[in-house]
Amino acid sequence: MDAAVNPLLIAWDSPFDLPPFALVRSEHFKPAFEHGMRAHKAELAHIAAQAAAPDFDNTLVAFDASGRLLARVEALFHNLAASATDDALQAVQREMAAPLAAHWSAVYMDDALFARVDAVHARRDTLGLDTEQRRLLERVHLDFVRAGARLTGPARTRCAELMQRLAELTTTFAQNVLHDEASYALELRGEADLSGLPAWLRAAAHQAALERGLPGGHVITLARSLIVPFLSFSPRRDLREQAWRAWVSRGEHDGAHDNRPVAAAILALRREQAALHGHASYADYALADSMAREPAQVWALLDSVWAKAVPALERERALLLRARDAQGVREPIEAWDWRFWAEQVRREHYALDEAELKGYFPLPAMVQAAFDCAQRLFGLRFSARPDLATYHADALAYEVADAAGRTIGLFVQDNFARAGKRSGAWMSALHWQHRNGFESRPVVLNNNNFARGEAGGPTLLSLDDVRTLFHEFGHGLHGLLSNVRYERLSGTQVLRDFVELPSQLFEHWIDEPEVLQRHARHWQTGEPIPAALIERVRAARRFGQGYESVRYTASALVDLAAHTAAGPIDDIVAFEQRVLAERRAPAVAGLNHRLPHFQHLFSGSGYAAGYYVYLWAEVLDADAYDAFVEAGDPFDAQVAERLRRWVYASGNSVEPGAAYEAFRGRAARVEPMLRERGLIGT
């Protein structure tokens, strides 16, 4: 396809350099990728072949500035593949996975290019580099080494082959999960099936039915904002079991979309990849570039939490059993029953009814609450830009300005679950902030999967939904507030066990009474949430932490066990069951993610051997929020300024441990996290 007629290959002259979404078609991507890869290779060949001796500017700065056409096409493609995909786009995704992986392998195994990077790196102590320059040099050099630049002969060839095959398999894994999620719906037929469901959940189930072509019905899909409340409110144990089994068996069905052999193949290839790099396991390879550094550190953290989480869950189970017995029920509490009986305990012990609470959390108000907290902390202002076209009507654009009124970037928020959008919640970017060659303003996207309210009615969030919104917004702020020179160091491109700190930390502000009283107003009356209800929420906050801690930690233990295994894992389900049995994991809790649908691990490599990072970052975020507690003000200006500078704005320009200590004045302590989870006394 001629570049002149391919909208991906012409200049984008819209504000914030947004793509011309309305013009982009699936068939544009393959030729755009091919053109972008050729252009990138030419740029790198020029860097490698120049006569001038390698120095920081002509090698590292030039490398950081290369490949921008390819990068913008990849960013758009991956966003659409996650948020607005279809069969044609998925076909391109499958077709291009291996060629793109081959391209990046060739980049980082280019002998002439690495020789220049390596030469500059060898002289790093004599070049007078500032902190950010040295960090760029060290990170780029490590990128080359970890990608195989020092491998030779058959090992180098095999490494490139592995990366191509892994790209194909991780694409298949993600598409299989999306298939299972999109193809399932539990139809609720009549009042008997709807009994016990609050009005807001009925409305959301009806809207989901409309979107699936069932205008007069109600359905429960596998979107978390539908299935979790259904499991919490429905007294129909048979229907709860049906929904739960569908939820936990995603990716585990015989046929074309079975992820069990896919995950096993990914694990085998990762073991081989680690061995090529001289590591005993993939976990050793992955964690070498992390704050944890080695599996032993992660095992120690997970073991310490597991030892406290299981007894906490047993205390919670006793409360559930009493609630069950009080209602004269004799069936055992199974995994599909836990949330239902936990909801009964919340009502009895804390006078807390999720249905009552949700009325105070309409989606637009919670979006404004997040914006307001960002303004009070960092001086940011978010202005709606309905004139800017995005890839879907659900994706709303906001111009972001700093305290001086200077526009710093664009924020796009896409909040609703729908067909063609993968599950979960995530942050991505179409453009990263940097100042290498020009001033690049970030375009940051947040994706959530909330159940849409009935047409004409409100979308009401659970408190868990609100935390998700604030969590992803924290990631968004990490991208928007980035203030670095080099694109490789921008925003969330930090070590994996640091990246969740800005997101998890931002969740704390939704627990602040003054934030709730300002923004949590009933969607019908406009009345602020009563102080007594806030107190009940705070009192109930630790209830359920045993259950959530067991589910999360069990998933992290299975992840680490799978990626430290010395031999092949032919049956991932049997392996998962064996790990849980060895840990005496309570079956009633289950896991956050089972291996056949564990997208953190198998839809890419970012969280492989790294699901622990949420807990690692929780140690940091709990300790970090204590700085505001100690200051006596959740919006203390001095603490907020240190937080902005060292956590949200520094990107990867500073080693993360040093960045945290510069903010806090010391290393993080684990006790605040354990207190927050109710795993130790206050």
pLDDT means over runs of 10, the chain (682 residues)? 76 96 97 98 98 98 98 98 96 97 97 98 98 98 97 97 98 97 95 96 94 91 95 98 98 97 98 97 97 96 96 97 96 98 94 89 98 98 98 98 98 96 96 97 98 91 96 98 98 96 97 95 96 90 93 98 96 98 97 97 96 95 96 98 98 97 95 84 58
Residue 538: its pLDDT value, please? 87
Burial class (CB in 10 A: 0-12, 13-18, 19+), 387: exposed
- For 567, residues 6+ apart whose C-beta sits below 8 A from its C-beta are none
| Nearest CA among 158, 276, 167 for reference residue 602 | 167
Is residue 630 flagged as an active site residue?
no
Whether residue 129 contacts residue 135, with contact meaning beta carbons closer than 8 Å, is answered with no
Q: Which of 252, 472, 500, 618 is catalytic?
A: 472
**Fold of the domain spanning 3-150:** Neurolysin; domain 3 (1.10.1370)
pLDDT of residue 30: 98
* Sequence ranges of the chain with CATH classification 1.10.1370.40: 3-150
Q: Is 400 helix (H, G, I), strand (E, B) or coil?
A: strand
CA distance 408 to 341: 47
Question: What is the predicted pLDDT for the residue at 4?
Answer: 59
Instruction: Give the helix ranges, DSSP H, for 109-130.
Output: 111-122
- How distant is the alpha carbon of residue 79 from its chain centre? 13
Q: How far is CA 327 from its chain centroid?
A: 40
Compute the distance between CA of residue 134 and CA of residue 130 in angstroms, rounded to an integer: 6
Q: Which two tokens stand for residue 60?
A: 């590292």
Q: What is the pLDDT of residue 216?
A: 84
* Contact predicate 43/67, CB 8 Å: yes
pTM for this prediction: 0.95
What's residue 375's pLDDT? Answer: 98
pLDDT of residue 1: 44
Residues 6+ apart with CB under 8 A from 592: 551, 552, 554, 555
Beta bridge partners of residue 521, listed in sequence order:
528
pLDDT of residue 3: 47
**Cβ 388 vs Cβ 19: under 8 Å:** no
